[in-house]
Amino acid sequence: MVTRIRNKMMTSSGVANMLNVHINTVRRWSNQGILKAYRIGPRGDRRFMRDDVVQILNSQSYGYKVWKP
């Protein structure tokens, strides 16, 4: 189960690359509650659920659609 969850989690840089935005934009969206972040480890690194990122990507406010096979 943990492995399946880990496969669905993304780093801030991975999210930034997927959405084609700067990593600071991802951090700001996390701080503003636009994108749900999960804090892990003693440093409190952010991780994001892939489904949440896809939802942002598919939202009309962002303006892009994800190709779904």
CATH number of the domain that residue 12 is part of: 1.10.1660.10
Q: Is residue 27 part of a domain?
A: yes
pTM of the predicted protein model:
0.74
Per-residue pLDDT of the chain in tens (69 residues, 90 and over written 9): 555 555 699 999 999 999 889 999 999 999 999 899 999 999 999 999 999 998 888 875 554 454 454
Report the pLDDT value the prediction gives residue 23, as an integer from 0 to 100. 96
**In-domain check, residue 30:** yes
Q: Is residue 52 part of a domain?
A: yes
The DSSP letter of residue 63 is T
Coil, helix or strand for 29? Answer: helix
Q: How many domains does the chain have?
A: 1
Q: Which residues pair with residue 22 across a beta bridge?
A: none
58 close to 65: Cβ distance less than 8 angstroms: yes
| Beta-carbon contacts of residue 59 (< 8 Å; ≥ 6 apart) | none
Residue 63 lies in a domain: no
Q: In what order do the strands lie in the sheet with 38-40?
A: 9-10, 45-49, 38-40
pLDDT for 62 equals: 54
Residue 66 resides in a domain: no
What residue numbers bound the domain in which 11 lies? 2-58
